[in-house]
Amino acid sequence: LVPLGNLLMEATGTWATVLYICATMDLIAAFCALAVLRPMLRKHHARNAELAAQQGRGPVTAAASP
């Protein structure tokens, strides 16, 4: 990405465009994490709980420290 940033800076004459594009890409990544990964995690936990219930075990939790 650095060479592309350098080319974009040369074309526009300022680093501001490069920084705005990077900030936009960060926001898109954050939105994707919320919109895609959060539902995937919920589905994963629900499936694990369902499998544990089918096997007659409770959900797996962290072990208590003594």
- Quick: pLDDT tens for 5-56: 999 999 999 999 999 999 999 999 999 999 999 999 999 999 988 888 888 7
Q: What global pTM score does this model have?
A: 0.59
- The DSSP H or E segment spanning 55 is none
Place of tokens 């420290």: 65
The pLDDT assigned to 17 comes to 94
Structural domain boundaries, residue 10: 2-54
Give buried/exposed letters for 32-66 (b at 16+ CB in 10 A, else e): eeeeeeeeeeeeeeeeeeeeeeeeeeeeeeeeeee
Task: Domain count for the chain, please give it.
Answer: 1
Task: Please check whether residue 61 lies inside any domain of the structure.
Answer: no
Task: Please check whether residue 6 lies inside any domain of the structure.
Answer: yes
Task: Please check whether residue 39 lies inside any domain of the structure.
Answer: yes
Dihedral sign of CA atoms 20, 4, 26, 34 in order: positive
Task: Please check whether residue 66 lies inside any domain of the structure.
Answer: no
Residue 5: Cβ within 10 Å count: 15
